[in-house]
């Protein structure tokens, strides 16, 4: 039972770290555009454009 003295504060601390990380991602806008990511995967914007003939 003595180990609970150490485990409970560690568990609370890890929970607070997880909560802080989640709040940080919310503030950074991580979840603002959930629909756009699936459309950006399908677009071909990263392909090189064909060479222009002069």
pLDDT at position 52 is 61
Alpha-carbon distance of 19 to 23, in angstroms, equals 6
| CB < 8 Å & 24+ apart, contacts of 20-25 | none
pLDDT at position 46 is 67
Chain centroid to CA 52: how far?
A: 39
Q: Enter the pTM of the model.
A: 0.59
pLDDT at position 42 is 85
Residues of the chain with pLDDT under 70: 46-54
Alpha-carbon distance of 53 to 18, in angstroms, equals 55
The dihedrals phi and psi of 5, each to the nearest 5 degrees, come to -60, -35
pLDDT at position 36 is 86
| CB < 8 Å & 24+ apart, contacts of 50-54 | none
């Amino acid at each position: 039972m003595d180990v609970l003295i150490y485990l409970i504060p560690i568990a609370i601390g890890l929970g607070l770290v997880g909560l802080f990380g989640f709040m940080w991602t919310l503030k950074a806008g991580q979840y603002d555009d959930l629909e756009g990511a699936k459309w950006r995967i399908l677009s071909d914007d990263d392909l090189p454009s064909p060479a222009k003939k002069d």
